[in-house]
Structure 1
Amino acid sequence: MQRFDEMAMPGSAVLFQILFTFLCAYIKSTEAVPKKYDMVAVIDVGTAYSGYAFSTSPDDVQNPENIVLGQWKEGLKTHKVPTSVLYNNDLSFYKFGYEAENTYEDARTECSNCKTFVLFRHIKLNLYNTKLDRQVTITDVSGKIQKPLIDVMADTINYLISQLRQKSAEHGVNNNGDIKWVLTVPSIWSDQAKQLMREATLKKIELEVDIVLSYEPEAAVIALKHMQKEFFQSGVKYMVIDAGGGMIDIVVHEVQDDGTLREVVASSGGDWGGTRVNDAFESLVETSVGKETFDQFKADYIKDYFGLMAAFEYKKRMISKNKPDIVLDIPDSLIEIIKKPTGTGENSQLIVDGKGLTLTEEIVFSLFSQSIKNITNHVSKLVQEPKVKDVSTIVMVGGYSQCHLLVNAIQNISADVQVIVPNDTAYVLKGAVIYGWNISMISERVCKYTYAMPVFGQSGLNEEFVIWVNKGTAVKIDDCLKKKIRNLKLQSYPIFSLYASTEEECLKGKDCQKIGSIIPKEQYSPGDMHKDMRLDICFGGTEIQADVLVLHTGRYLGADCDFLGLA
């Protein structure tokens, strides 16, 4: 049992305690001298596409063009690869990316006696708005086979790491040196999702590694700030909309006098990304030809199905008000299916002319309508908030930001705001590398949740919650909140339950859910029985961090934050 309070102590005891705690803090601070790294390496797992980047010199912060990006498909300048993970029939890892998709297509369409494979796609979508633990499973593209999400993510990250190491070795990098690993994640992800990414990484590489998470929209603007400095003068407020395949991730920053970036309001967004439009297109075709027929098409002609969706993905970025129609070259297999009567009465929605499939302006706009409506409604409300009204610039990054319809919709929200869509599609990767060299570039963030802990009374029952930080509170990235804990006859170190709420209060039984635990690392020492402790929690980073101090000895126990074990 633990109780938070401010304890009265005799004057000499107070003085001793202050001096002793100060000494311990000083010793701890000297242990945190910035480390020199041989390389900063970034792993960027996206919903549709993934990639990596690395840098061997902190000078690349000022020269982002020197950052090395991954490259796939020989002869094509693409720094991303499809997030497609292929497994053997026994669910052992086989291939990733283009090779995974091509192998799966060939095995399904060109050889009835070939070896069978299992393919997973869009795995990142499963980490948002999902109750996560280490056993959560995802389903393959056939809808029949499941595998633990953390294992599929681990294989994805491991593949990207292996490619990065191979590329860095070609550049003469010592892969056995000190490396800071940076994982990019949406800023709107839960604490559980972020921990799953970290643990997935640790499943495949050495335990003693330095890993930091970088928020994707923050990374994008960090790169842009270094490459287009004229837009980011002191005092400027701007909004970043990271519109990817799965997520719409939005942050609002203000540039400080020292050049750092301060978050103005808590990050926000939703799962309204480009895959929603793809899903709407697929649903249209399915409705028009009949679900059973379309399912058969996907099963018998998987290569044609992937080709159709890839063609639509490319074409949707070219759509504008002046060129709203889409004409897709489609395979013979689908043409024959479309031409067959289905009895649904809806085939007229799809116009087939030769080998082309025409989607009229009305149909095209309907495919985008729900996704764009969700985004514009959210942004419209956001720009009306008092702290956001004076935003002068909206920066749009991510693959979906290449869609003219979405950009036009954002431009129409306010005539007073400049909308910038950078041509460079590698801003997240480059910015994450820069962040890896200097994480202090973000000076302050705003809490998305109210965090609290239960307080136990003499009865041993949870009597109330003590709030640590309220939703909407600005927190410096290097500041930790500290509370004393009166240790009441415990024969072990307490495990602290952490609760969170989307409301400003955290009331028992209302809008306040347990999300995890803070667990002291060191073994219990009998000499600490009945002794008071101090719990330190840092909420300003990309991950919650904590530590426990035994006050009478000044010994830090360390602490693990576990958001996947018990929530």
Structure 2
Amino acid sequence: MIPIEFEPPVEDARVVIGIDFGTTFSGFSFAYIKPEKEKIAIVVNDNWLGVKGPMKTNTVLQYDEDYEDVITWGAKALANEPSKKAKNKQPRPVEMFKLHLGDVPETKKPKLPNGITPERAITDYLREMGFSEKTKTIMRKCLFDAGLIKRIGTLSLQFTTEPEAAAIHCMNILKEHGLSTGAKYLIVDCGGGTVDLTVRKLLPDNKLGETTMMSDGFCGGTYVDDKFLEFLEKQVSKSAMDELKEKNYGQVNYMVQQFCFHVKIPFTGEESDFETFEWDIERKCPALKKYVTGSEKNELRKNDWIIDLDFKTVKGFFDPVIDKILKLIKDQLKKCPDCSVMFLVGGFSESKYLQTKVKQTFGDKIKIAVPPRPVIAVVSGACEYGLDTKAVSTRVLKWTYGVLVSPKWQPGDPLSRKNSFGRIDKFYLMAKKEVQVDVDKEFSQRLLPSQPNQTSIVFSIYYTSKYSATYCDEPEMNFLGKFEVDLPDAHLGLNRPVMLTLRFGSMEVFLKATNETNNRVYRTTFCSAE
């Protein structure tokens, strides 16, 4: 999910900022709005706390020992040296906190320190970046608390997904691949924590339509790092690695950085290109030695504390992760077999081995392209979307949306669900998943109060991964939000219709309710479930 920030207000915008808030790495881009016909240059930030070069920095925070203040953030939060601001021992850095947003399995969510909520971590991180369904609602509040927007409900803040932003970025190079209006292309955004896929169709006037429902998986580049650490744990014992993580977490991160630089990034998957890498524990992670005991210690002593990373072992780090990515691609191409080009974007897409495996598996079915600097495709595309939010013409709904209604209980309805008013709460479907909707398309339904004397009506909106549902408490049903509409003129009884309208024109759900008795209009915005 990418927030796009306009400051000052949209109608008098001077600059557009695209923020790529990622699971493991984040970045931002910006562009000054110029008069029509003047070329607008998008600048991707490459200066992080004085370190110039990287287009992104780590989504990590280092707090003081009391978790009251942020000592440092980004790549410096993973530095091996303790901060001078720390009173005594620094606590472990807080990372991967984005996984607490949305419908992420509990097993994938990292444990956060006491007193650090996901909302606080996000707010602190967005504040430190230096611009001074549920996920987007949280993000709006965090951006507001971080001082990046003046009002929570401002339309100056727009959202787009990572693959959508990448699709917009890649749209500018479609002609290089011979694509014209009507062509479909697949975006595979391989990040650190997740891989997101979407199929887009090029429409007239450089507009984009979404062809298939977006899919994703937890199989980004950091899972290769995890496989390396799992291998290391088998060599030194779980207890030794646990102690290292608890007492010397900075050295764990240093090891991962060294592994990426010397092994992961250069790995091509060709044995002829590979030389067995000697992993010297004394040099790469000296603190680990004091935690290793028993037979593991004896064996490592014999080998001078060196562990060989041979071709088969390193390949084994990659293959389980890449196999999941290949399956995701296969499933998307099955839904849309007439795609012309597949674009690999995101940091992990720079892996030569991943590129090779994708080309070997799908090269005879579809053209495969890796744009220049694929790591910036998302953050640059986010800014491009901010400059022209109408670039996206259609989207495919990932969820089924509806509202809670209370009709009269009828024979055949479960008796246990009948309430004291003789009514039953049900899910009324308003928009079905996998339906392609035009931007600003509205779904409306006229609803009536359930009691003649009620003075307001509360609309509770739900969404589900199923195509339909009967009740709002079914499995896979999620509460999105609610808002209240005044219902004066009680003397009219039940004859007080309200027109409820849902619109999915952006990455948020806009709701409008019109009291048709007095023509008063109510509006609100909810996050679009991802």
TM range (shorter): 0.7 to 0.9
The separation in 2 between residues aligned to 1:347 and 1:474, in whole angstroms, is: 63
The separation in 2 between residues aligned to 1:198 and 1:365, in whole angstroms, is: 41
Alignment-derived partner of residue 420 in structure 1: 369
Out of 66, 69, 85, the position equivalent to 1:90 is 66
What does 1:427-442 align with in structure 2 at a 5 Å threshold? 427-442=377-392
1:281 partner letter: F
Alignment-derived partner of residue 193 in structure 1: 135
Alignment-derived partner of residue 296 in structure 1: 243
Out of 108, 114, 124, the position equivalent to 2:88 is 114
Alignment-derived partner of residue 469 in structure 2: 506
Out of 397, 402, 405, the position equivalent to 1:447 is 397
Out of 446, 455, 460, the position equivalent to 1:497 is 460
Alignment-derived partner of residue 357 in structure 2: 409
1:533 aligns with 2:477: no
1:480 aligns with 2:426: no
After TM superposition, the score normalised by the length of structure 1 is 0.78
Greater Cα shift, 424-433 or 226-235: 226-235
1:40/1:111 Cα in 2 relative to 1: closer, same or farther (>3 Å)?
Answer: closer
Task: For residue 406 of structure 1, give the secondary structure of its aligned residue in structure 2.
Answer: helix
Q: CA deviation at 1:117?
A: 4.2
Alignment-derived partner of residue 516 in structure 1: 480
Q: CA deviation at 1:106?
A: 2.7
What does 1:251-266 align with in structure 2 at a 5 Å threshold? 251-266=198-213
Task: For residue 318 of structure 1, give the secondary structure of its aligned residue in structure 2.
Answer: coil
Task: For residue 126 of structure 2, give the secondary structure of its aligned residue in structure 1.
Answer: helix
1:394 aligns with 2:394: no
1:357/1:288 Cα in 2 relative to 1: closer, same or farther (>3 Å)?
Answer: closer
Alignment-derived partner of residue 67 in structure 1: 43
Greater Cα shift, 330-339 or 503-512: 330-339
1:147/1:300 Cα in 2 relative to 1: closer, same or farther (>3 Å)?
Answer: closer
1:380 aligns with 2:380: no
Alignment-derived partner of residue 100 in structure 1: 77
1:131/1:536 Cα in 2 relative to 1: closer, same or farther (>3 Å)?
Answer: farther
Task: For residue 440 of structure 1, give the secondary structure of its aligned residue in structure 2.
Answer: helix
Alignment-derived partner of residue 123 in structure 1: 97
Q: CA deviation at 1:480?
A: 1.3
The separation in 2 between residues aligned to 1:562 and 1:77, in whole angstroms, is: 34
Render the CA deviation track for 1:197-232: whole Å, top value 9, x for unaligned.
222112222226421112111111212222554334
Q: CA deviation at 1:451?
A: 1.6
1:157/1:335 Cα in 2 relative to 1: closer, same or farther (>3 Å)?
Answer: closer
Alignment-derived partner of residue 219 in structure 1: 165
Render the CA deviation track for 1:423-443: whole Å, top value 9, x for unaligned.
222221111111112111110
- Kept after mapping to 2: 8 A contact 1:53/1:164: no
Task: For residue 164 of structure 1, give the secondary structure of its aligned residue in structure 2.
Answer: coil
Render the CA deviation track for 1:369-425: whole Å, top value 9, x for unaligned.
22112111121122122xx10111110111111112222222223212111112222
Alignment-derived partner of residue 151 in structure 2: 207
1:303/1:330 Cα in 2 relative to 1: closer, same or farther (>3 Å)?
Answer: farther
Q: CA deviation at 1:452?
A: 2.2
What percentage of residue pairs aligned between the two structures are identical? 21
Contiguous gaps of at least 5 residues in structure 2: 1-8, 409-420
The separation in 1 between residues aligned to 2:115 and 2:479, in whole angstroms, is: 25
Q: CA deviation at 1:337?
A: 5.0
What does 1:238-249 align with in structure 2 at a 5 Å threshold? 238-249=185-196
1:542/1:306 Cα in 2 relative to 1: closer, same or farther (>3 Å)?
Answer: same
**Matched residue pairs, number?**
490
Q: CA deviation at 1:339?
A: 11
Runs of 4+ in 1 over 6 A off after TM superposition: 59-62, 110-113, 338-341, 344-348, 350-356
Out of 118, 123, 133, the position equivalent to 1:149 is 118
Alignment-derived partner of residue 416 in structure 2: none
The separation in 2 between residues aligned to 1:195 and 1:352, in whole angstroms, is: 56
Out of 161, 164, 183, the position equivalent to 2:131 is 164
What does 1:34-53 align with in structure 2 at a 5 Å threshold? 35-53=11-29
- Kept after mapping to 1: 8 A contact 2:160/2:382: yes
Task: For residue 451 of structure 1, give the secondary structure of its aligned residue in structure 2.
Answer: strand
Alignment-derived partner of residue 282 in structure 2: 332
1:336/1:325 Cα in 2 relative to 1: closer, same or farther (>3 Å)?
Answer: farther
Alignment-derived partner of residue 139 in structure 1: 111
Q: CA deviation at 1:464?
A: 3.7
Contiguous gaps of at least 5 residues in structure 1: 1-32, 166-190
1:517 partner letter: G
Q: CA deviation at 1:557?
A: 1.5
1:249/1:563 Cα in 2 relative to 1: closer, same or farther (>3 Å)?
Answer: closer
After TM superposition, the score normalised by the length of structure 2 is 0.83
1:80 aligns with 2:43: no
Task: For residue 558 of structure 1, give the secondary structure of its aligned residue in structure 2.
Answer: strand
Alignment-derived partner of residue 268 in structure 1: 215
1:460/1:535 Cα in 2 relative to 1: closer, same or farther (>3 Å)?
Answer: farther
1:467 aligns with 2:429: yes
